A and B are shown apart, each in its own frame.
Chain A
Amino acid sequence: MTPILQLTDVCHAYGEGENRQPVLHNVSFTLAAGEFAALVGQSGSGKSTLLNQVGLLEHALSGSIRLNGQEVTTLDDNALTRLRNEQLGFIFQFHHLLNAYTALENVMVPLKIRGRPEKALRERAQSLLARAGLSGLENRFPNQLSGGQQQRVAIVRALMAGPALVLADEPTGNLDSETTGRIFELLRQINREDGTAFLIVTHDHGLAMSCDRQLTLKDGRLVGDTSPSPAR
């Protein structure tokens, strides 16, 4: 399969001089288009840092990151910003919706950033919200939705621009087990139906086992890359 993401010897560290703290050591892996992978590891293992590198939010100190075949480590901030908007979707542990916008408007934000007129986006946004079981809630503001509903809106927002890869940082970390199951099922369904690749950071062993592939980080090193999952 065509690789959507290719990391080669990615290293990263925080701090300067004596305070320099390495967090990623020569991490290399490839993610194919349509893959559904979990990134697991203990707290402080470097999962969030790796996600930030892949999400083009931080520059790697060394190594190579190719997104859809394009080397991104040499790009400037403007180019990275554009790539984030066009190629990536983000789902955060806390939904991080804009409180000033309704559910429908939140979903349309990534494409409105791109300058698309609202009229042209409304239909797609409504259909995606319906697919996530949020029909009738389009005009509610985030504070009028439950935690699960808020996270569903955040998922739909991540998918709105049709990204090649969705990066999810503990997408169910703040939800009860029943809601977690439903959210995970929604992600799985989107992956199967749309072929969107997912890289999901999770502490939930059960969820990780349900993914096609598990990448395990320990002390900034990739120590495990297993697939397929027997639980699948």
Chain B
Amino acid sequence: MQPIFEVRNLKRAFGGLAVTNDVSLSMAPGDRVALIGPNGAGKTTFVNLVTGNLRPDSGEVRIAGEPVTGVDAIGRVRRGLVRSFQVTRLFADMTPAEHVALAVLQRSGRAGRLFGNFLGMSDVMAEVQELLGKLGLKELMHRKVSEIAYGQQRLLEIAVALALKPRVLLLDEPAAGVPQSDTGRIEQALADLPADLAVLMIEHDMDLVFRFAKRVVVLAAGAIIFDGSPSEVTKDPRVREAYLGSYANASHAA
């Protein structure tokens, strides 16, 4: 089957430093891949290259076989490549309902409508309710984002991403900054993601990685040094070397 998401020989250097060094990756629909690596490995640069926020020096990005290397960030979102942000970027004065509605309207091409209000659009509201319900945010849907807890804001990030009906979802540290008590909800949300959606998750929380991922990719110094099953990753000598033993708890997941 044709991969839904492909990166081929992506290269990007800043000055003389190769921050992304000939990275190739391919994902099929339904994949659950975790991208890990020590700090400074180039994960954020990789995400920015893939989403179109940064232009590569060479290499290709493809969505469902279509090359999108020349397409800008907005175009890639419209072709189904959606990301969430590591540090929550939400509109403090808008409500979860408005966030999700905006995403739904944008996806259905109605975000430019001059008249009407989303509260009165039954199909939009149906989707809003369904998504927010699945993520447990229904009671808060009309509260301003500045008034809801951080863990719930992270869930909203995921909701907004899902509202765009992506084909490939890039989750940038979905559990970052979330107190232990709320990570369960996020894990549940991740487990409930659509089965045919290809998900690439960047994470540092190894527990989450091992519970979520069917495949682990390790990035170190801009290059992929491992691409395989979670059970193999802790044993790989190159990975151990890259981390210099800094992930002591990796052993217990095998």
Chain B binds chain A: no
